[in-house]
Structure 1
């Protein structure tokens, strides 16, 4: 299916930010909550939430409430997923970020 040029430009602009691009690479394989991204990126919770809101607003990520926490995951049903997937495949794995959280006992610390 052909993509809308304006929407494609918006998606690519969002992914032009290193933090959001890294988030997308991580979310392609792992669900994460805001607190985990705070730890990974060493950024404030409001900054992380702002990045995630932008990705959610265009439908690239989805959120799921688990108790009092919200977890984010890649929205593989979004019609732009097939557009960005080849790009994400070219990026280095970010699994070490999750492994570091697990090693430090900070994986899903908010649950």
Structure 2
């Protein structure tokens, strides 16, 4: 049986699912799918320390799920739309209800964030 062009190995799917099994990383990807965020914005939205947010972002970046862009002292992150896992991640993120209480609470915090 031939593997589909963009299909992942069972190990690749398993690793991706392990990363997404953490609620913070899952919701972080939900935000990063929509637009680019600075670490300080994510810190305020998720109510976590900068090292905590950076640790989650490092795991997502090492897995190829997010990309990083530097601008002066700031680092901006967004979902990596051309990574091999993107189709799987996009499909999973679509399953999150926009009316989810946790997601709504985080979105309210987003409005008040400004790091510039």
Judge same fold: TM > 0.5, yes or no. Answer: yes
8 Å contact kept, 2:46–2:106: no
Which runs of 5 or more structure 1 residues have no equivalent in the other structure?
none
Q: Aligned pair 1:72/2:77, yes or no?
A: yes
Greater Rg over alpha carbons, structure: 2
The TM-score, its normalising length taken from structure 1, stands at 0.87
Mapping for residues 87-98 of structure 1, pairs under 5 Å: 87-93=92-98, 94=103, 97-98=106-107
Q: CA deviation at 1:2?
A: 2.1
Q: CA deviation at 1:24?
A: 0.4
Q: Aligned pair 1:32/2:41, yes or no?
A: no
Partner of 2:88: 83
8 Å contact kept, 2:44–2:109: no
Question: Secondary structure of 1:49's match?
Answer: helix
Q: CA deviation at 1:91?
A: 0.8
Q: CA deviation at 1:98?
A: 4.8
Q: Aligned pair 1:42/2:47, yes or no?
A: yes
Which runs of 5 or more structure 2 residues have no equivalent in the other structure?
1-5
Mapping for residues 43-58 of structure 1, pairs under 5 Å: 43-58=48-63
Partner of 1:101: 110
Partner of 2:16: 11
Aligned length: 107
